[in-house]
Amino acid sequence: MLSPLVLHQIQRFMHFVCSLMHSLLQVSYTSWFLDAFNYAIATNMDVLNLSIGGPDYLDLPFVEKIWEITANNIIMVSAIGNDGPLYGTLNNPADQSDVIGVGGIDYSDHIASFSSRGMSTWELPHGYGRVKPDIVAYGRDIMGSKISAGCKSLSGTSVASPVVAGVVCLLVSVIPEPDRKNILNPASMKQALVEGAAKLSGPNMYEQGAGRVDLLKSYEILKSYKPRASIFPSVLDYTVCPYTWPFCRQPLYAGAMPVIFNATILNGMGVVGYVDSPPTWHPSDEEGNLLSIHFTYSEIIWPWTGYLALHMQIKEEGAQFSGKIEGNVTLRVSSPPAHGEKDPRISICVLQLKLNVVPTPPRSKRILWDQFHNIKYPPGYIPRDSLDVRNDILDWHGDHLHTNFHIMFNMLRDAGYYVETLGSPLTCFDARQYGTLLLVDLEDEYFTEEIEKLRDDVVNTGLGLAVFSEWYNVDTMVKMRFFDDNTRSWWTPVTGGANVPALNDLLAPFGIAFGDKILNGDFSLLGEQNRYASGTDIVRFPRGGYVHSFPFLDSSESGATQNVLQASGSTKADSPILGLTVMGEGRIAVYGDSNCLDSSHMVTNCFALLRKLLDFTNEDLLWGRN
């Protein structure tokens, strides 16, 4: 067990480090962390808690130093972040697979509102995030000591993380010191914690991970622990809802885009491991052969962890199948022999699947969400969508159906729609299978081939198109430049809230274009009050279409002078923001703001409007044209 003297020295060191992590201007530098981490490696620490983090998982000197720490067999515990209840807000390094990421709960075992939610966003936009946090612990109204004297109440995942670090220290002390480094490592400790955790009823796995930390159960696991590899989560069961949300909200069916589940490989056998052969799907009965799984995975596992992604589809012969598919995915992992051993260490990992399958839905009920053309921070300065939000300048929540658009996803499922994710260019899907392509707050460019195919899909194939844009104003973007003290460089937005020039290129064959105004205001539509938050206007629309306009002020840099002149009492000018048109066999709906669908900074939602627009874009299909 760690002696009181050692604990006191660690506490003194961590207090010293924390006092240096921020300047008087609340600025921190990567180099300060690297110095502290080098000290931890040099002193051969067993456990290191980090109650701090940020969204930049591409700060390579920092990330690689975390890998070096865990590769040196130091168990790192880190706070997952206090950006809840928003999804896709995990902080680094807690979002790394080799780190134990900790979320917060209250004494009633409810997820604390401030606790950041998963999934991890490293893998977006082309893949799917991992399950995080790993576990949760008490982090609201925890009594702690004041620096001066007495006690005070503390809240935050920065409080929950040291609770778990304390649990880890107790578990470390269970193992005799001569055997400690041979048995305990970041992977084996995470195995003990997640396998011993108490699953909470109510929260999903991207809120609670494996559940509430349970010291005694984890102790029982470690008492008889033998080095092995495992998969976390070890079960994906569509019948356990809401824990397996979002998977349990939408069954599989033939002809759909692949559904991706990204699991973590934990290798307690060694810092380096190898996946010896491709994973294998073992169905429990004949119906299981209707499931096709394409695997992507870490062939080399380092340090201690890797990933296993399942890309699941139902084969065409299962188009009318309704029922459950069950079975196991197995994976063979090997590691070099430990000191004193001759043979490699071998372990067979098992992931259990229990999936719901339904007959392929009609085209009018299938929506395709474009994930491929989304960009977020990092790697570039992607500004926030709502300029009214001053304390969150970066768009870093993933812009995914299951992160900041998760409420919209649930609404669409409740309305009977099946929503699939497109993680590839617009040239890679069959428009005949879908009622509407949904484009929301996109920042990437479009290839010429994509533009030409989309026109043909709408005009000749009858694909519906629903577009929710955002602001784009060059003068405003220039004003948003700032000097970053950490990188010692000027940062300028690479786009606006959305890439309007790219959207205009995509919509040009239809005679539609958005402008550069930044409009704000309240208005009534469909009997509901709506907030237009930093949206844009429509400047071109085809003759014969329907355009809806409302009086707003332009808050862009170029519109500021005009607003001052209008402030004397003149009426606001009407700005077109919503357009509906029929284009050949298809229908198009465009709207200049996406904040009403995005749970990050939503003032009022426009879900009723979205449902009406989808009714419009799918209308001919609902009456029998396929």
pLDDT band with cut points at 50, 70 and 90 for residue 18: very low
Mean pLDDT of 467-479: 95
Coil, strand or helix at 581:
strand
Do residues 130 and 119 touch, judged by C-beta distance below 8 A?
yes
The pair phi, psi for residue 202, each rounded to 5°, is 120, -60
The single-letter DSSP state of residue 509 is G
Instruction: Enter the tokens of residue 334.
Output: 């090997």
Instruction: Please give the pLDDT value at position 28.
Output: 67
Backbone φ and ψ for 13, nearest 5 degrees, come out as -65, -45
CB 358 within 8 A of CB 468: no
Q: What is the mean pLDDT of residues 392-413?
A: 92
SS3 content of the chain, % helix, strand, coil (to 5): 30, 30, 45
pLDDT in tens, 207-241: 999 999 999 999 999 999 999 999 999 999 999 99
pLDDT (0 to 100) of residue 31: 87
pLDDT band at 389 (very low <50, low <70, confident <90, very high): confident
| Size of the chain, expressed as the number of residues it contains | 626
Nearest to 579 by CA among 513, 480, 505: 513
Q: Is the peptide bond preceding residue 251 cis, with omega within 30 degrees of 0?
A: no
Alpha helix (H) residue ranges in 175-266: 177-183, 186-196, 205-208, 215-223
State the DSSP code for 603. S
Which span out of 54-58, 180-184, 365-369, 474-478 was modeled with the highest average pLDDT? 365-369
DSSP state letter for 248:
G
Q: Is 232 exposed, middle or buried (0-12, 13-18, 19+ CB in 10 A)?
A: buried
Give the chain's radius of gyration (CA, Å): 26
Q: Which domains does the chain have, with CATH numbers?
A: 4-216 (3.40.50.200), 247-357 (2.60.40.10), 363-618 (3.40.50.880)
Q: What is the pLDDT of residue 376?
A: 82
pLDDT of 563 above 50: no
The CA–CA distances, whole Å, from 34 to 14, 148, 404, 458 equal 14, 29, 32, 53
